Structures are given as C-alpha cells and as structure tokens.
Chain A
Amino acid sequence: MKNSLKQMMRTPMRTALFLILMVFAALLMTLGTCIWLKGISTMAQYEDRFLTIGTVRQVPDSFEQTLEWNAETKDYEVIKRAQYTSYYTTEELLFPDAEYLAEPEQRAFYTSYVPEYLMYNNSINPNAIAWNLIAEFSPLEDCMPDESVQIKITKVIGGDERLEGAVDYFCDHTNPNPEMLYKDKTYAAILNSGFYIHGKAYDELMKSKNEVHIGLEYIPDSLESGLRLPDGGVVENSFQDGQKIFEVTDGFYETDAGKRFLNLGKLELAWKYCQPVTGTNKTCLLMPFYNGQAYICEGRDINEEEYASGSKVCLAPKTFMKNNGLSLGDSVKVQLLLTDTRMNAGRKFWLDGRVGFYGGLIDTAGEPLEVFETSEYTVVGIYDVTVSGEDSIFDPGADELIVPMESIEARDGKNLMACGPMTNATSSFQIPNGDIDEFLKGWAEYGTDKLELTFYDMGYSQLKAGIDNMKKLSLCLLAAGVILTLLLLFFFSHLFITKQAERTAIERSLGMNKAQCRWSILSGFVLLVLLGGMIGSMTGVKLSDRFSVENTGEIYYDETYTVKTANKINEIEVEEAAATGPTAVFCTLLIAVAGTGIAWSKMNKSLRREPMELLSERQEA
C-alpha cells in the first residue's frame, strides 16, 4: 500500500485532480440526497400539522321578495329571502373517488338548558335587564300604535320583573292597519325590543331632553309556535290570524291565547340558562378550531375512537368551566331543549355575551317545549378562544360544548327551531393535504353547482410547491452527482488501473500473487475515492443546511389547534436534516463501493492477462 500511495503521489496533478473531482461529485451527490431527504422529512412533518378542509354552502335557487310594513316610513319595505327548492344533504358529496379523511358533515347545534349553571351572559353582567318580555300593558293615552306611543307595563307574565311599572314606548310597527289602544284597557303581548323610537314621541324627546341616544320601542310578536319542519317550513302558520295584541279581560288566561301567554312566559328567561352544544365527527372540522381561534389549553382533544363510538365526552370552554367551578375530568350536565341546523352556535350565543334567542318556545298545542335528552358529559379538554373583535361567521358560541355527533341520540333534530341548507359555518369535511385539485376534478364531474365548496389548507399547497421545487433541484443534483461519480470512477480507474496493467504484470513476475497485486493497485485508488467521498459528503451536508424551508422566503405556521398557546400562533419548528450524518456516511460508502466495484472489475481484466504476454507485447511495440 505504501508503494501504491507513493506511486500515486508521484503523479500529483492527476491524483489531485481525481481527488478534487471526487470531492465535487460526492458533494453533488450528498447535497442532492440531503436536500431530497430534507424535502421528504419536512413534508412529512408538515403533513401531520397541516389540515385541508373544505366547507360547503348551498347556493339559493332564488330569492323571494316579501313586503313588510314599516311604521316609521309609512311604507312597505321589500324583504328578500333566499329560497331553496330543497336542501341538499352531505350525501351529495360522496361521489366516486372522493377521498375523505373526515366525511362531510352538516352540524346541528343544540341548546342545553341547565338553570343551575352560570352562563357567560349572566356572569359578565348579572344585573343586566332582559328587555324582551311577555307582559300586560296599558297606553298612557288612547292612541293608534302606528308610531311610538307610551305604555305602562302593568304586569310581567314572563321576563324581567323589574320592568313591572315601567313606562316605555310601543309600536305595532309591521302592521299596516293597527288597532286603537285605549288607556283604560289592559292588553297582553309579547314585547320585543324592536326599532328606534319614531314619530311624535321622537320629536318630543329631542325637544325636551335634547336626547342624543334614542332608545328602542317595543314591538309585539305573534303567538305561534317557533318550531320548524326539517324542510325549513313552520309547523304552525298562524295563531288566531296572527293576532299579536290581546285585550285582557276576565277569564283571558283561560283562553287559548291566554294559556299561550302563560306557557311562553315560563321559558321567557330560559336563554339566560342555556348553552350551545355542537356535535361533530372531528374537532378540526369546526372552523374556530381549524383557524386557531379556539385552542385546547388543558387536557386533550376528543379522539377518533370516542368520536366513532359516540362517547359522552366533551370539550368545554375555559370561561364556562371557571364560572361553574368545574375542572378537567368533571362531568357537565347537558339537557337538550332545542335544535338548530341553520346556523352555528356563534350566531346565537355571541362571544360578547349577547344571546339572539328563539321565540315561540311552545308546541302547536301551546304547551311549553320540554328537554328532549339529558346526559352527563366528561370534560376531556378545556379550550380557550381568542376574540378578534371582528364579527366572523365562524365565531364559536359562548359556553359552547363540543361533543361527538354520535353521542347525541336525538341528533335527527327534536324541537327544531331553525332549519337551513348547508353553510360554510355548519358543513365541512377533511381531505388529504394536496388533494384539492384532484377533488375538484371529481367534483366537476359528479358534483352539482348548487353546492359551493371552499377549501382551506393553511398554505399547504404553496408550501408543497416550494418543497417540490426543492426536491426537483435535489434530484438534478443527485443525478449530476451520480453521473459525475460514475464517469470519474470509470475514467480514473482506466488511468490508475487499466493503464497500470504493466505494473501489475511486473509485480506478478516479481512474485506477487493476484491478491497482493489487487491490493497494491486498489488500495491507493480506493483510499482516494474514500477520501474524496468523505470530504465531498461532509461538505455536501454542510451546504445542505443552506437549503431549508425557512430559507425559501416563506414563513409557515403551525395551525394545529391542539398545540396553540393563547393569542399566539406558534411557528412550526421543523426538525430538519436529522439524518444528514448517516446520509454522509451512506453516500461515502456508496461511492467507495462503486469505486471498489469498478476498480475490481478493471483489475480483474488486467489480472486475466498473462504477465509474460503483456510484457512481451510491450516489448515488441
């Protein structure tokens, strides 16, 4: 080996050139391999953290225009309402070749009525007046309620009793032909806060008090049941021709209308003790969790098995848990009273504490609605919500419990108070990352244009494109490295081995056996290959650090709802190039093996020739 190296060193230019080129070839190979592996590893890491979901919205077939009287303008107003021939179901999305990680779902949210719990709206302002009520009242003067008129609330049938005796404004605002009200008569009505005070009352208020903030007038509401049919229709078209104001006379509360007032009164303040419960099949399908507005701050997510089996487990909001002295692992009582398939909980139970509750909590017989399902749910995760201040259609509901959809037995919708088509906030599904184009291709073939799909992938497509480009570059480098390595090995093995056939023949004639000759020639060559491979591989590994996702100029964020901290979106920490060391070793060994293999075959060729023949041949030449 010593002589072998000595002879190599005596052709320094050739040896140095070989070494340098081997370093370069190994560098290309390792760099390509490292970047390729880094691309795969990075993608795999991102793959777990990125989620691609689609939301579904049914496009209205038409818009119905109805006219509604406006007492303030003394004119009819055009009210436009979206019309749907029928509601599509999620089955429409189960077209051939559609691959889902979570199948499409249309979520209902349920209202759980548990008076012993302190709900968010009550906790932030326990003394707030609940303005809507069912009450008896009398006008201060005989009047036509075609504008704001003053009334005195004489008796609260249902609602905040502190309002009994209060003087306020009233208008039969949407009735083009209101009836006279007489000061010596008592009337009963559902009084909802409606429009701003208008008419003469407004002028007087402005004149006498120079009021800047004008309050709202009460408007009456009808006594029909608020229940809906699954197709969105009402269960009861009108009660007593839609009459809203009733004169209270002796025996009034024995009449159908009177009984309805009493029954409606029983649940008038129910909203204060209600919380929304949303059933889903996967937490990430809920947009607040997907987009990071809601995040699990304690405990864990509901797992796949629990979702599939319909376990009685839930995710509960931090404020609700705190307000009720509950902690992780405790049970939450759920008493389902109402069902809503039209919107998400955030549109009824606002994060700022307002509650846009339903009216008409009676059935067609006028009886008050009853809890239809009672359960105890174990809290496995507590989540918190960031309030952006912007009103988003995806906002979660205050006090909203998240439960497995399968855990709700009456999920087909009992006490249905609102029913509607799929919307972006209620209907979603999950597909594999990077499958949007493929999915849309299938959807274009099998889907309907009445369903509008919107996809969210957290920038996955952009990231994947970047990484794919990186992988293409790495493939080019790898191919160039492999080709260059092979060319170099073939060329230099020709110089160092084939052209050294004479040396081999001399060594043989001096008594070296074939194995010794092989070692003599190969040792120096393989050592150079190994050295070049090692230096090149190590340099390649170092250089590969410069090629990282962070250096592509894009910043990617971890959007996984389970790893967030409050008000902060964590930057993804990708473990890059974990295998660069083994890669360098692998590339070096690969080059060494290839070099040895090629050199071995060339050497065998040299050894096959008889030394005498070879040396004599040279002689004659």
Chain B
Amino acid sequence: MGKIIEAEKVGYIYQSKYQKTKALTEVSCSFEQGRVYAITGKSGSGKSTFLSLLAGLDVPTEGNLYIDGKDIREIDRDAYRMNRASVIYQAFHLFPLLTVLENVMFPMQLQHISQKETKTRAQEFLAKVGLPDSLYGKMPNMISGGEQQRVAIARAMASGGQILLADEPTGNLDSQNERVIVELLCKLAHEENYAVIVVTHNEKVAEAADVVYGMLDGALEVVRG
C-alpha cells in the first residue's frame, strides 16, 4: 500500500512578537491508507501542531511534508482539506445551529453537490456511524457526546477524503462511547480504507492503533508498528 502522507524532517517554529518556540523538530514518518495511527505524548509535546500540519492548516517551517507525493506547500491546501483530509476534534465542534443532518451535509454543499444527493449521502454516512435516524433533525446540543462525535465522524467522511485526522476524539467521552468511537475509527480504516491518524494520550486508543508514534518535546519516535 502506498504512502499517502510522508513527513521528512518536519520542523515547526511558532513565532510570536517576542519569542520563537520550536514545536516540532525533524519529524519524519509516513502514513498509509487502511491503517490506524496513534500519536501519543504529553500536553504541549507538539501533537496538535503536527496534526495541524497534516490537516494542511499550516505548513512546516522546516523539512518537507508530502501529500500523495506532492509538497504540501505546493498544493491547494483548502481543496486538500475539503476533498482529502478531515479533522475530528475532542470537543466535536459541530455547528451548534445546524441540525445533525445539516452538519453532515455541510462539507458536500461546499463541493456543490446537489441538495438531494447531499441529503441522501449524509443519511448514509450517519447510518454508517450508527446514528439512529430519529436524531437527524436534532440540534447537536440535544444529543449525547458520543452521538455528537459520531456525527463529527460522519461529517468527516462526508468530505469524501480518505484521510481522517482525529485530535483526542475520545477525550470527552465515557468509556462505553470511547470504545464505540475507537471501533468505528478502526472499522473505517480497515474496511473503508481510510488513513486514520489519532492524536491521543489515551492508552486504550493507542492500543487499538496499528502503528503508535510517541512525541516528546517536538520529536517523534516509533513506539510500536
């Protein structure tokens, strides 16, 4: 299976008005479709910064990051996020004023897919993540955390990309919901051929991953895989 993302001595420096902070140092790794990757580490170790780079929200200040073999600096990163990579957050970050269904429809609307098809596909994605259709018309704050995270995963899938980036996806969930979400992410990788990259400090999540990277003070090392 080919490498979908490849990091080559990636470094990142936060530059504020008064100081420079090195968040990542010579991070080199690669990610393939059909596998679940876990990146573990303490808070402030650089996990989220790395995820931000993988999501194309920023570019490395040092080294290179390749997406499908192309330097991330040279691709349309907005299009990349719209079509290839999606991010799932710990706090779900659904649109609070859109219904569950509308939240899932949103990425497809950006791609100018017809309203009818958008709706049908959104319902399919919601079914895939196991959300009962009685919840489709509800507002995010009316459903549980686990359900919200499933909606977030369905929305990520709706963008059509095969790269799923998750930032502490189970951080706000109880153990039962945590298990459901982890199983769902693994299923997406193994059955739907997604490349799932999870930033977590949850050991159970890391255990379920195919590859585990550890991050310490901005440096990445393979823990298992």
Contacts and interface: CB of A to CB of B under 8 A. Distances in A.
Contacts of B168: 619
B106 A3 contact: yes
Given A513-B78, A618-B91, A7 B57 contact: no
A11 B43 CA distance: 36
A612 B121 CA distance: 27
A387 B131 CA distance: 99
Interface stretch (A224-232, A260-268, A501-509): A501-509
B95 A509 contact: no
Interface in B28-69: 43, 48-49, 51-52, 55, 57-58
Contact of A619 (B52, B91, B106, B110): B91
Given A502-B93, A616-B48, A619-B168, A611 B82 contact: no
Residue of B49, B51, B78 most packed against chain A (CB within 10 A): B78
A512 B110 contact: yes
Interface residues of B, number: 34
A543 to B, nearest CB: 35
B89 A511 contact: no
Interface string B157-186: 001000000011001000000000000000
A172 to B, nearest CB: 116
A610 interface: yes
A162 interface: no
Contacts, number: 80
B57 A610 contact: yes
A511 B79 contact: yes
Interface residues of A, number: 25
Contacts of B159: 510-511
Given A511-B82, A513-B78, A612-B58, A506 B51 contact: no
A617 to B, nearest CB: 10
Contact of B110 (A511, A612, A616, A620): A511
B57 A619 contact: no
Contacts of A512: 78, 82, 110
Contacts of B97: 6-7, 10-11
A509 B110 contact: no
A510 B82 contact: yes
Contact of A509 (B87, B94, B102, B109): B87
A505 B109 CA distance: 17
Given A3-B106, A511-B83, A616-B48, A611 B57 contact: yes
Contacts of A510: 81-82, 86, 106-107, 110, 155, 159
A139 B152 CA distance: 137
B193 interface: no
A615 interface: yes
Contacts of A511: 78-83, 107, 110, 159
A508 B57 contact: yes
Contact of A615 (B49, B79, B81, B91): B91
Given A3-B106, A610-B57, A619-B168, A506 B95 contact: yes
A161 B168 CA distance: 133
Contact of A7 (B80, B87, B95, B107): B95
A613 B167 CA distance: 12
A502 B95 CA distance: 9
Nearest to B171: A619
Contacts of B25: none
A221 B171 CA distance: 129
Interface string A579-621: 0000000000000000000000000000000111101101110
Nearest to B43: A620
B78 A612 contact: no
Contacts of A503: 95
Residue of A502, A615, A616 most packed against chain B (CB within 10 A): A616
A512 B78 CA distance: 6
A612 B52 CA distance: 6
Contacts of B93: 502, 505-506, 509, 615, 618
B98 interface: yes
B202 interface: no
Nearest to B103: A506
Contact of B52 (A506, A610, A620): A610
B98 A619 contact: no
Contacts of A610: 52, 57-58
A592 B55 CA distance: 36
A505 B91 CA distance: 13
Nearest to B139: A10
B51 A612 contact: yes
Nearest to B56: A511
Nearest to B53: A612
Residue of B57, B79, B86, B98 most packed against chain A (CB within 10 A): B57
A315 to B, nearest CB: 79
A523 to B, nearest CB: 15
A509 B79 CA distance: 11
Contacts of B48: 612, 616
Interface string B94-126: 110110001000110110000000000000000
Contacts of A618: 91, 93
Nearest to A511: B82
B90 A619 contact: yes
A6 B102 CA distance: 10
Nearest to A9: B97
Interface in A482-518: 502-503, 505-506, 508-513, 516
A456 B95 CA distance: 73
Contacts of B79: 511
Nearest to A506: B93
Residue of A505, A611, A618 most packed against chain B (CB within 10 A): A611
B95 A619 contact: no
Nearest to A508: B57
A6 B98 contact: yes
A242 B184 CA distance: 140
B79 to A, nearest CB: 7
Contacts of B171: 619
Nearest to A517: B78
Given A11-B97, A509-B55, A616 B83 contact: no
Nearest to A613: B52
A619 B159 CA distance: 23
A433 B83 CA distance: 74
Contacts of A502: 93
11 contacts: A3-B98, A3-B106, A10-B97, A502-B93, A509-B87, A511-B78, A511-B159, A611-B52, A618-B91, A619-B89, A619-B91
Closest 8 CB pairs of A and B: A511-B82, A612-B52, A511-B81, A7-B97, A513-B78, A10-B97, A619-B90, A619-B91
Interface of B: 43, 48-49, 51-52, 55, 57-58, 78-83, 86-87, 89-91, 93-95, 97-98, 102, 106-107, 109-110, 155, 159, 167-168, 171
Given A3-B106, A610-B57, 18 more contacts: A3-B98, A3-B109, A502-B93, A509-B93, A510-B86, A510-B159, A511-B83, A511-B110, A511-B159, A610-B52, A610-B58, A611-B57, A612-B48, A612-B51, A613-B52, A618-B91, A619-B89, A620-B43
